[in-house]
Amino acid sequence: MEMTPLGKTGLKVSRLGGGLARIGEELSMADVEEAGQVLNAALDDGINFLDTAACYGVSEELVGRTVSHRRDEYILATKCGHVTGGASGKLWSTQTIEDSIERSLQRMKTDYLDIVQLHSCDRATLERGEAVEALLNAKRSGKTRFVGFSGDNDAALWAVESGFFDTLQTSFNFVDQRARIKLFEPAKSRGMGIIIKRPVANGVWGLDRSPYGYADEYFSRAKILDATGPILGGPDDPMLAAMGFVLGHSEVDTAIVGTRNPAHMHRNVEQVETKLPVSQEFLRELHHRFDMVGDKWAQLT
């Protein structure tokens, strides 16, 4: 698996990362063996970046139960700020963030985190400063090596321009390209690592209908972009085309794709390693189509 520097952190990450939301939300603690198969398959295939969150169901617990003995083989990123896991408190408060980070350390059976990210709070929350300061305190105390912001639109731009964060995790795919226009250049100019969420747009490209309620907007956009005819020069496989589009941007350090199926994980890795990059013609055409119709399309949060 190709590795690339994660901004100025000094970390080197696999271009394809493992997103652990599906594992946490679709599996239970009774499915430890299944989770272990997926996570160990990812590590065995060269994925070294695992991204989870305190609110992704039992995701963190499953990491701790299945791959904590391989802790030196992966870069571990989580997110905080939500009141979750049976906790009480106030969103984005110092106490909530401190408690969340402590819980993440215990759940994942580790004494440090590589990256802790504020989890999609709005710009007003960032501007108040309490959440940012709580996160920076965790970095100062050694509980996390780096801090990041996970989010989109105005809040993401504020996070980039603030200079407080080491990494930005943001939405980017062929139907959600605002990050290319608004965020990539300022983030890279500040040496931030760029982590992409939703790179395959919930798999809506080339489908006759949206398979997920969450992806209805992505599906509508895909039909608009596809209306002017087939896009030449790209892979026939929609998943490969989606991953190839995102990874065809040098600003992207890693793109996180989630699955609970080890065979799907292996196939994703194999395709990235053997069938990419996509052609520049393909990238230019998707840029052109988005720029023609997507100027008012905000990033989906």
What are the pLDDT digits (tens) for 102-126?
999 999 999 999 999 999 999 999 9
Q: What is the pLDDT of residue 206?
A: 54
**CB 84, CB 53: distance < 8 Å:** no
- For residue range 33-55, what is the model confidence (pLDDT) as tens digits? 999 999 999 999 999 999 999 99
Evaluate whether residue 164 is within a structural domain: yes
CATH number at residue 41: 3.20.20.100
pLDDT more than 70, % of the chain: 96
Q: What is the pLDDT of residue 216?
A: 84
Evaluate whether residue 299 is within a structural domain: no
Where does the chain show beta strands of DSSP type E?
3-5, 12-14, 16-19, 49-51, 75-80, 113-119, 144-150, 167-171, 193-197, 254-257
Lowest mean pLDDT among 203-217, 243-257, 282-296: 203-217
The yes-or-no verdict on residue 236 having pLDDT over 90 is: no
Evaluate whether residue 298 is within a structural domain: no
Q: What is the pLDDT of residue 230?
A: 81
Q: Amino acid letter at 260?
A: R
Evaluate whether residue 266 is within a structural domain: yes
- For residue range 127-154, what is the model confidence (pLDDT) as tens digits? 999 999 999 999 999 999 999 999 999 9
For 229-250, what is the mean pLDDT?
90
- 131 forms bridges with which residues in the sheet? none
**CB 14, CB 46: distance < 8 Å:** yes
Lowest mean pLDDT among 61-75, 86-100, 108-122: 86-100
Q: What is the pLDDT of residue 203?
A: 67
For 267-282, what is the mean pLDDT?
94
Q: What is the pLDDT of residue 209?
A: 47
The yes-or-no verdict on residue 186 having pLDDT over 90 is: yes
Q: Cα–Cα distance between 29 and 155 in angstroms, integer?
A: 34
Evaluate whether residue 59 is within a structural domain: yes
Evaluate whether residue 24 is within a structural domain: yes
Query: How many structural domains are present in the chain?
Result: 1
The yes-or-no verdict on residue 31 having pLDDT over 80 is: yes
Which range marks the domain in which residue 194 is found? Answer: 3-293
Chain length of the chain = 301
Evaluate whether residue 237 is within a structural domain: yes
Evaluate whether residue 301 is within a structural domain: no
Q: What is the pLDDT of residue 45?
A: 96
